[in-house]
Amino acid sequence: MLQIYNTLTKQKAPFKPLVEGQINMYVCGITVYDYCHIGHARVMVCFDVITRYLRARNWRVNYVRNITDVDDKIIKRAHENGETVEQLTERMIAAMHEDEDALGVLRPDQEPKATAHIDEILALISTLIEKGFAYPASNGDVYYRVERFAEYGKLTNQNVDELRSGSRVEVDEAKESPLDFVLWKAVKPGEVSWESPWGAGRPGWHIECSAMSKCCLGDTFDIHGGGPDLPFPHHENEIAQSEAANGCTYANHWMHAGPVRVNSEKMSKSLGNFFTIRDVLAKYDPEVVRFFLARVHYRSYIDYSEDSLKEARVMLERFYQALNGVSLPKSADESLDAGYEGAKAFELRFYEAMDDDFNTPKAISVLFEMVNELNKLKKTSESAAVALASKVLELAGILGLLQQNPDAFLKGADKEGEINAAAIEQLIEQRNAAKANKDYAQSDKIRDALAEQGVILKDSREGTSWFRES
């Protein structure tokens, strides 16, 4: 039975959806004012793996991940660039999709934009005002009355009295309480805006997700997910808004991905340790980056470093080296379990790991056991090796891994400063000619020169193959 850790209850429990066999999941997406960074990649890959696994277990998953395409940062950046908000956001959305595609992240079923749901946002704010949970202020903003919602802080165990004592209201603010947060912002000169019953303005960040999730999934849904920085105040505010307006539970399960640190420090532009996804992909194979992100449990923090990515490359090479040379069937539909009786036992252990709150480290350790066994079978039984290799690919595919041709991955894409594939093949031909002429000194010289370039040669009866060493 699938067990999921719930941020709200602070414990793992058997997962029970609202509708048998159906899972409705909403994940907070990106505010599209800049290129996505490696922390965004962590959340993307995390919930992509979760969605892939749930579907592999025959759940019908409706995965919604929103796009915030209007907020202070977006307006400021568009002004700095001399472009419209729409021009900036459409460009950044396209870049986000490029990054996702490179990482093998599948698109969500629905990807609502805040600006396309202004009517729903206005309706939700009106309901909150009618119920006394919100109020129009003298400055044209509309605020939420935090202290009116008795359960405020239940997701992150925040105490309202302590929050109040640690807050202050600026002299020019129109809030009733320092805890109140904005639902609708009055327009400022030069800003994008929409008409509302309270004057021209735009939505606050928190109300967007309450409106979009309600529109796409209803008043109550199964799973709400997001990044490590969102539980407070964003998700607390979502709960307060939605449950006050709808009169029912907002989300039954809350899931949050862990943070990414850089050499054990918080990632920050001010510290000079901030990396966009495309920065990283310029240096590393996208599958290496995905493996690096997926091999750590989704709730744990990841320490990003050059050494960590190099280690991920070495680990992936172990998989591809085991798969290399195995003649797999052309059709993925062919069942080969009968070719190796142990394949089913490995599969069950993989599923047990993933059923335990999506324990990818344990699941990947099962895959490593499988490739160790595969290396033995390649020497003793071709049919058993093919059967086990097929199962490795099937299970790894659930994690979005091992999607490349083994030989192509091991040879790697030519990078700046590396000897290219055509030159390597030419040197191998020269080495073969030297061996044929019994010029073993020249043969060894070529082999050693390639080894210095990180190119490893493997001789067999079929000829000479090669791969790049990390």
Q: Indicate the annotated binding residues for Zn(2+).
A: 28, 209, 234, 238
The token pair that represents 215 in the structure block: 């529109």
How many distinct helices (H) and strands (E) make up the chain? 16, 15
Other Cβ atoms less than 10 A from the Cβ of 285: the count is 19
Task: Tell me how far CA of residue 421 lies from CA of 257, 425, 445, 454, 465, in angstroms.
Answer: 39, 6, 19, 12, 12
The amino acid sitting at 314 is V
**Residue the block writes with tokens 């009866």:** 461
Which residues 6+ apart lie within 8 Å of 338 measured at CB? 387
**Residue the block writes with tokens 């959340």:** 43
Give the three-class secondary structure for 252: strand
Show binding-site residues for ATP: 269
Cα distance between residue 196 and residue 193, in whole Å: 9
Show binding-site residues: 28, 209, 234, 238, 269
Cα distance between residue 98 and residue 104, in whole Å: 10
Cα distance between residue 291 and residue 298, in whole Å: 12
Other Cβ atoms less than 10 A from the Cβ of 61: the count is 20
Picking from 183, 86, 77, the residue whose alpha carbon sits closest to that of residue 125 is 183
